[in-house]
């Protein structure tokens, strides 16, 4: 399963992709069907800013040795949070959920990217405990 995210949240495209089989051929056929001029074309869905696979295992399977750890972290965050929230793309950080801004990164991720954002959090991988506005990535697994 593939999830598309843009500045307005989960799109109609997500609903269509979720409704069909995981077969790549069926996904391509559905995308082609959406893109028909009589339906306004694929541009009518809005600008897609990020694309996430359904889970990190798919990324490792498809990417093998070239899998990007940053994408893995964001995929995990997105997939844990999308169950109870509507994560959308942020112009400042990785995600906005309700009125909260989230920047996802590794152990050494700094606050610089979100320093001017209100109600902002850094979600870090490879840490055991959180502090102030820092949340361990593993804790989001409890959302599921």
How far from chain centre, in Å, is Cα 80?
9
In a domain, 95, yes or no: yes
Domain co-membership, 41 together with 87 = no
pLDDT value of residue 21: 45
Is the pTM higher than 0.85? The answer reads no
CA distances from 36 to 21, 28, 30, 70, 74 (A): 21, 13, 10, 34, 31
- Distant-in-sequence, close-in-space partners of 48: CB < 8 Å, separation ≥ 6: 4, 5, 6, 11, 13
User: Average of pLDDT values for 17-36?
Assistant: 56
Q: Which residue has the higher pLDDT, 92 or 46?
A: 92
Domain co-membership, 75 together with 120 = yes
pLDDT value of residue 50: 77
Domain co-membership, 119 together with 83 = yes
In a domain, 132, yes or no: yes
Is pLDDT at 136 greater than 60 in this prediction?
yes
Quote the domain boundaries for residue 98. Answer: 69-144
Domain co-membership, 73 together with 140 = yes
Among 26-35, 67-76, 100-109, the range scoring the smallest mean pLDDT is: 26-35
Domain co-membership, 93 together with 142 = yes
Compute, in degrees rounded to 10, the torsion defined by CA atoms 44, 45, 46, 48: -140
Among 30-34, 50-54, 95-99, 136-140, the range scoring the smallest mean pLDDT is: 30-34
**Beta bridge mates, 113:** none
């Amino acid at each position: 399963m593939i999830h598309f995210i843009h500045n307005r949240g989960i799109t109609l495209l997500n609903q269509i992709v979720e409704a069909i089989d995981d077969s790549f051929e069926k996904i391509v056929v559905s995308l082609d069907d959406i893109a028909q001029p009589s339906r306004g074309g694929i541009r009518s869905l809005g600008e897609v800013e990020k694309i996430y696979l359904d889970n990190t295992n798919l990324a490792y399977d498809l990417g093998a040795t070239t899998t990007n750890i940053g994408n893995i972290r964001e995929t995990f965050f997105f997939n844990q949070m999308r169950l109870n929230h509507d994560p959308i793309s942020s112009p400042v950080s990785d995600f906005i959920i309700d009125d909260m801004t989230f920047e996802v990164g590794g152990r050494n991720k700094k606050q610089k990217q979100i320093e001017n954002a209100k109600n902002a959090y850094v979600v870090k991988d490879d840490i055991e405990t959180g502090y102030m506005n820092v949340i361990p990535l593993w804790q989001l697994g409890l959302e599921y």
